[in-house]
C-alpha cells in the first residue's frame, strides 16, 4: 500500500483545523508546468498562495504538503452541487504533468498506482463517496482543464475510486457526432446539473463533461453519445 509518504510542507494553508467529517471531496489536479521542480517550488512558496495536500511526482513518490485537517489552497473559485469554494470541504492532490500548455502527456503507471492507493486510504478514512472524487475542471469548467482527457477515470472506477457509465463502448461510438434535438440538449444540460455541475456557458460545460466521461473527442458539442453517457452517470 502506501509505504513512504515524504513530508515536504507548504506554508500555504488556513491555520485553523477543520473537523474530519467536513472533508467530503477529493479534487484531482495536474501541475501544468514544464518542470516538476518548478511546480513543487510554486506549491511551497509563500508568495504564490497556492498549495495542495498531496503531490505525486513523475517517479511515483508521494509527498505530503499540507496535513489533511488543514485547508489547502488548490481549488480557487469553484462549485459543485451548489456548494461554493470547495477548498473547505476537500483534499487536493496534484499530479506532476506538464499539462495542455507544455506538452500534455499520459500519466504514468507508477503515478496512477500510488494515486489509487492514496484514494482508497482517504475514501476509507473520511468516508468519502467515489462520486465525490472530482477533477479540477469539474468544479471550475470555465477556468480549468486539469487533470484533462488523458487522466484514466475509467481505470479508477474499476478500482471503485471513481464512477463510470455502464454502456457498451461499441454502441456508444456509433452515437458519436450524431446531432441532438433541442429537447435532447436541454435534457443533457439538466443531467449535468443533476450530476453536480454548476451553471456556466454551455461550451465549457460540455468540454468539462467530455474530458471526464468521453475523452475520445473533446469538441464542446453535445451529441447523442454525450447524452447517453450523461443519462447513465445520473443513475451511477
Ligand atoms: Zn488544478
What confidence tens digit (pLDDT) does each residue in 27-86 have?
Answer: 999 999 999 999 999 999 999 999 999 999 999 999 999 999 999 999 999 999 989 999
Position 1 scores a pLDDT of 66
28 CA to middle of ligand 1, Å? 7
Position 4 scores a pLDDT of 84
At 192, which helix (H) or strand (E)? helix 182-195
Q: Using CA atoms, how far apart are residues 200 and 225, in angstroms rounded to an integer?
A: 21
Query: What is the crossing angle of helices 182-195 and 202-213, to 10°?
Result: 70
Assigned architecture for domain 5-158: 3-Layer(aba) Sandwich (3.40)
The answer to whether the 5-158 and 169-235 domains have the same CATH topology is no
Buried b / exposed e along 63-102 (16+ C-beta atoms within 10 A): bbbbebebbbbbbeebbbeebeebbebbbbbbbbbbbeee
90 CA to middle of ligand 1, Å? 13
Q: Per this entry, what is the length of the chain?
A: 236
49 CA to middle of ligand 1, Å? 14
Q: Using CA atoms, how far apart are residues 28 and 179, in angstroms rounded to an integer?
A: 32
Kindly state the DSSP code that residue 48 receives in the 8-state scheme: G
Position 3 scores a pLDDT of 75
| Set of cell numbers at residue 167 | 454502456
pTM value is: 0.97
Q: Using CA atoms, how far apart are residues 178 and 155, in angstroms rounded to an integer?
A: 27
**Dmax (CA) of the chain:** 53
Contact 27, 151 (CB under 8 A): no
Sheet holding 5-7, edge to edge: 5-7, 62-64, 54-56, 90-95, 25-30, 133-135
Position 65 scores a pLDDT of 98
Catalytic (active-site) positions: 94
Assigned architecture for domain 169-235: Orthogonal Bundle (1.10)
Name every residue whose Cβ is closer than 8 Å to that of residue 221 and which is 6 or more positions away in sequence.
206
207 CA to middle of ligand 1, Å? 16
Domain boundaries, the chain: 5-158, 169-235
pLDDT in tens, the chain (236 residues): 677 899 999 999 999 999 999 999 999 999 999 999 999 999 999 999 999 999 999 999 999 999 999 999 999 999 999 899 999 999 999 999 999 999 999 999 999 999 999 999 999 999 999 999 999 999 999 999 999 999 999 999 999 999 999 999 999 999 999 999 999 999 999 999 999 999 999 999 999 999 999 999 999 999 999 999 999 999 99
Q: Using CA atoms, how far apart are residues 172 and 154, in angstroms rounded to an integer?
A: 15
Contact 24, 90 (CB under 8 A): yes
Amino acid at each position: 500500500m502506501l509505504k513512504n509518504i515524504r513530508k515536504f510542507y507548504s506554508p500555504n494553508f488556513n491555520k485553523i483545523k477543520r473537523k474530519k467529517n467536513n472533508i467530503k471531496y477529493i479534487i484531482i489536479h495536474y501541475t501544468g508546468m514544464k518542470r516538476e521542480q518548478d511546480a513543487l517550488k510554486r506549491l511551497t512558496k509563500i508568495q504564490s498562495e497556492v498549495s495542495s495536500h498531496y503531490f505525486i511526482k513523475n517517479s511515483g513518490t508521494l509527498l505530503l504538503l499540507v496535513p489533511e485537517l488543514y485547508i489547502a489552497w488548490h481549488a480557487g473559485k469553484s462549485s459543485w452541487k451548489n456548494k461554493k469554494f470547495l477548498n473547505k470541504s476537500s483534499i487536493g492532490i496534484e499530479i506532476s504533468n506538464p499539462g495542455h500548455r507544455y506538452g500534455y502527456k499520459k500519466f504514468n503507471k507508477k503515478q496512477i498506482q500510488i494515486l489509487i492507493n492514496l484514494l482508497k486510504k482517504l475514501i476509507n478514512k473520511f468516508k468519502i463517496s467515489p462520486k465525490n472524487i472530482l477533477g479540477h475542471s469539474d468544479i471550475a469548467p470555465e477556468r480549468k482543464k486539469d487533470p484533462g482527457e488523458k487522466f484514466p477515470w475509467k481505470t479508477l472506477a474499476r478500482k471503485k475510486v471513481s464512477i463510470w457509465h455502464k454502456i457498451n463502448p461499441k454502441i456508444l461510438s456509433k452515437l458519436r457526432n450524431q446531432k441532438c434535438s433541442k429537447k435532447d440538449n436541454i435534457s443533457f444540460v439538466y443531467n449535468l446539473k443533476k450530476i453536480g455541475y454548476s451553471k456556466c456557458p454551455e461550451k465549457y460545460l460540455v468540454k468539462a463533461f467530455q474530458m471526464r466521461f468521453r475523452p475520445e473527442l473533446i469538441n464542446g458539442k453535445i451529441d447523442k453519445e454525450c447524452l447517453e453517457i450523461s443519462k447513465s452517470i445520473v443513475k451511477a
